[in-house]
Chain A
Amino acid sequence: MEVFLDQFLNPAVLAKYAPLVLKGAGVTVVLSALIVLAGIVLGAGLACVRAYRIRALSFLIVIFADVLRALPPLVLILLVYFGLPNLGIVLSSFAVLFLVLTLVLAAFAEEIVWAGITATPKGQWEAARSTGLGFTQALVFVVLPQAVRMVIPPLTNRAIAITKMTALGMVIGVPDILGQATTAQSFSANATPLTLAALAYVAIFLPLVIASRWLEQRFAQKGH
């Protein structure tokens, strides 16, 4: 037990590296918030474009969504991080992680919101149009809000799963929680920073996971 505490929750190591991991937590939270915001807005936007049923555009959107849902995010991260500099485009590791995860979330969000749009009863469209709203107005003011409300549980789950992937940034040197913790672990030759990292992720994501469970239950009860 003592060995365990010494190696996994060492007070001296804890005191020394907690600020670093905390700083990493700041990076994780900011990055996650940016990804959720940009990813969902972009995904919902693409789903709306698809609602116009312009063949060529819909086709491109489906390809985009399929490819980004099929490829492991880590492959995309390495591809962008190591590939683009060869073309003379140099992005920071933070920017690469933001870009890739935003696109991945957008792909999933597009599919989820699109499912919501197609599940909205036809009568809603007809009623909206018959009050004199144009197609775009009906889409934005009547159908989209209902569609998004219907798909809040899967959207929340997906957003959580993808923001958790910010930990992948460690591979390209983003100073997020895991990045800071692995650095600290190699400096201190002690596993305490890794324990700290796990605790930090639990502190950030467990409330979100519990909230998503609650949301799911509430939506199930309302009979959606």
Chain B
Amino acid sequence: MEAILQQFFNLEIMAKALPLVLKGLGVTLMICAVVIPLGAMGGLFAALASVSRNPAIRWAAIGFVDLFRAIPPLVLLIFIYAGLPFAGVQVSPFAAVTIGFFLNNSAYFAEVFRAGILSVPRGQTEAARSTGLSQGQTLFWVTLPQAVRNVLPDLLSNVVEVVKLTSLASVVSLGEMLHAAGLVRSLTYNASPLVLAAGLYLVLLWPLIRMISRFERKIDS
């Protein structure tokens, strides 16, 4: 018991690690602020393309989504970060994370948006068009609001996954929270900084996870 406290919950080491880990948290939040909107937008476009009436566009979108759902994000990230320089393209860790996560997140968001769009009854579109709204107006004012509402828990759960995914940025030495905690761990030979980071992830994500569970129950009943 003593050993567990000493090795995992060492307050002295946690206090020392705190400033660096908090700085890492700032980077984590900044990555999120960039990649979540980007991924959601890319996903929305891919979703619209995947329900297009033009089969070429439809299949291209489905191919894109399936391909990037099949490749592990870490593989994508390392391919961009360590592979592209061989083609003469130098990428900063932040750019690599942004590009890699954009491709991965777009694919996952696309699936959610697609399910949402397909869940809106056809009559809604027909009714909207017959009131004189254009196709674009119908999409923006009638279809999408209902689509998003229908898949809100899945969208939220995707956001949680993206926040968790940002920890991969530590592998390409981007100084986000896990990277900072890992650094202090390697200096102190003590796992407490990692526990501190885990605690901060919990503070950040637990409320969201509870919210998702509540949403899901509401939809069931």
Contacts and interface: CB of A to CB of B under 8 A. Distances in A.
Q: Do A and B come from one complex?
A: yes
Interface of A: 3-4, 7-8, 66-67, 69-76, 78-79, 82-83, 86-87, 111, 115, 118-119, 160-161, 164-168, 170-171, 177-178, 182, 185, 190-191, 194-195, 197-198, 201-202, 204-206, 208-210, 213
B197 A75 contact: yes
Interface in B145-181: 160-161, 164-168, 170-171, 178, 181
Given A72-B164, A168-B168, 18 more contacts: A8-B87, A69-B209, A70-B205, A70-B209, A71-B205, A72-B167, A72-B201, A75-B194, A82-B194, A83-B194, A164-B73, A168-B74, A177-B75, A194-B83, A198-B71, A201-B72, A202-B70, A206-B67
Do most interface residues of chain A lie in helix, strand or loop, or is the interface mixed?
A: helix
B220 A115 contact: yes
A71 B201 contact: yes
B30 interface: no
Contacts of A87: 3-4, 7
Chain A to chain B: the 4 pairs with minimum beta-carbon distance, closest first: A83-B191, A72-B167, A167-B72, A205-B70
B71 A205 contact: yes
17 contacts: A7-B86, A66-B206, A70-B160, A71-B201, A71-B205, A74-B167, A74-B170, A75-B197, A76-B198, A78-B182, A79-B195, A83-B194, A86-B7, A166-B72, A171-B171, A190-B86, A194-B79
A194 B74 CA distance: 11
A74 B3 CA distance: 24
Contacts, number: 142
B75 A201 contact: yes
Interface of B: 3-4, 7-8, 66-67, 69-76, 78-79, 82-83, 86-88, 160-161, 164-168, 170-171, 178, 181-182, 185, 189-191, 194-195, 197-198, 201-202, 205-206, 209-210, 213, 216, 220
A99 B198 CA distance: 17
Nearest to B81: A194
A191 B165 contact: no
A182 B178 contact: no
Contacts of B216: 115
B74 to A, nearest CB: 5
Contact of B87 (A3, A78, A164, A177): A3
Contacts of B182: 78
B71 A70 contact: no
A139 to B, nearest CB: 19
A118 B86 contact: no
Contacts of A209: 66, 69-70
Nearest to B8: A83
Contact of A86 (B181, B191, B213): B191
A71 B213 CA distance: 16
Contacts of A78: 178, 182, 185, 194
Among B74, B75, B170, max chain A CB count under 10 A is at: B75
A83 B66 contact: no
Nearest to B118: A220
A160 B73 CA distance: 13
Contacts of B3: 86-87
Contacts of B7: 83, 86-87
A178 B167 CA distance: 17
Nearest to A86: B7
Given A74-B170, A86-B7, A67 B202 contact: yes
Nearest to B164: A72
